[in-house]
A and B are shown apart, each in its own frame.
Chain A
Amino acid sequence: MLEFISRMLGRESASSKTVAKERLRLVLVHDRASISPAMLNRLREDLVKVISNYMEIDEAALEFNLCQDDREVALVANIPVVKMKRDYASKG
């Protein structure tokens, strides 16, 4: 009943401005970095390939994102290492 009254009086779960702001935030990260999501994905795959030469990583738990702070964009990767590959470690 209370919920019905709330809705009658114009309260909604997500206001359209929140949606607008969230969409802008996402689109601007890519605009500012001038990189498309498809390219970002290729970069991620390449990075995984290179790192896998040196260490075993947990691909499922890998986090890989463009982050935005003020007018700066950073590429932030959090890559859990399962174990080092001994042959590369000894070669130095």
Chain B
Amino acid sequence: MGEVIVVTSGKGGVGKTTTSANIGTGLAAEGHKVVLVDTDIGLRNLDVVMGLENRIVYDLVDVTSGNCRLKQALIKDKRFSNLFLLPAAQTKDKTAVSPEQMKILAKELKEEFDYAIIDCPAGIEQGFRNAIAGADRAVVVCTPEVSAVRDADRIIGLLEASELRNPKLIINRLRPAMVKRGDMMDISDILDILAIELIGVVPEDESIVVSTNRGEPAVMDQGSKAGEAYRRITRRIKGEDVPLMNLEVPSGIMDRLKRLVGIR
């Protein structure tokens, strides 16, 4: 029996789809049978992030409305034979699927896969309710910005109200140099406010743009810092105890100068 994990955030643009793609690919790389489900109906993107956009025949709505069988809609990944994508419909809207249908789908996915990663749309309306309907666990993605933290707080409240207890937090796009200057909230500031358990910190990394351009998740790129962060998150999702990455900025000439003058 597998597990359904929803990746959500409230605010758009904080990295839900990138996170879903990387966690899913990371779990598949560790040998698990994984399905990625894009529930952002009308604004599907997980297919392009995974580089599978040319292979779509059927979609999520076809499955939930009985137009095709689940197996027909699943797209096999290019890299891993144990990784699949169930794409969202692009021409319909969020009301084309109901939370009840998602619960049934989740049950079916759990029989077939070790992990089903649900990429949730932004917002707190029906798309969100669909995405969380069949989930066993939730991961909340948040960037170190006032607006993202506020929305994450709202989402955490809604998750708890719908009995998805103990959601885990991913802090995405952290810039250690800005944190050091005191111009960005750091990990402890955000944990202080949201009061949930941290499951990973992903540094801002240009390699994410490159990997998205190519349709190849950064978790596969051994040289990518964000990829390393996602590899660690993947192992934590499996229940392993993995230390946080060292995100310290090496001290530059200004720091040494400050120390010399004695104001640090």
Contacts and interface: CB of A to CB of B under 8 A. Distances in A.
A17 B263 CA distance: 20
Contacts of A6: 263
Nearest to A15: B182
Q: Chain B interface residue count: which class?
A: 20 to 34
Given A17-B186, A17-B189, A24-B149, A10 B154 contact: no
B193 A32 contact: no
A16 B257 CA distance: 23
B61 to A, nearest CB: 33
A23 interface: yes
Q: Chain A interface residue count: which class?
A: 20 to 34
A31 B150 contact: yes
Contact of A20 (B146, B156, B160): B146
A21 B193 CA distance: 8
B263 A28 contact: no
B185 A17 contact: yes
Contacts of A32: 153, 157
Contacts of A11: 263
B193 A24 contact: yes
A33 B254 CA distance: 45
Contacts of A10: 181, 254
Given A9-B257, A70-B195, A24 B186 contact: no
A28 B192 CA distance: 12
A42 interface: no
B193 A9 contact: no
**Which 8 pairs across A and B sit closest by C-beta, in order of nearness?**
A15-B182, A16-B183, A17-B185, A70-B195, A20-B146, A21-B189, A17-B182, A71-B195
Given A10-B181, A71-B156, 8 more contacts: A15-B181, A15-B183, A17-B184, A21-B189, A21-B192, A28-B150, A28-B193, A32-B153
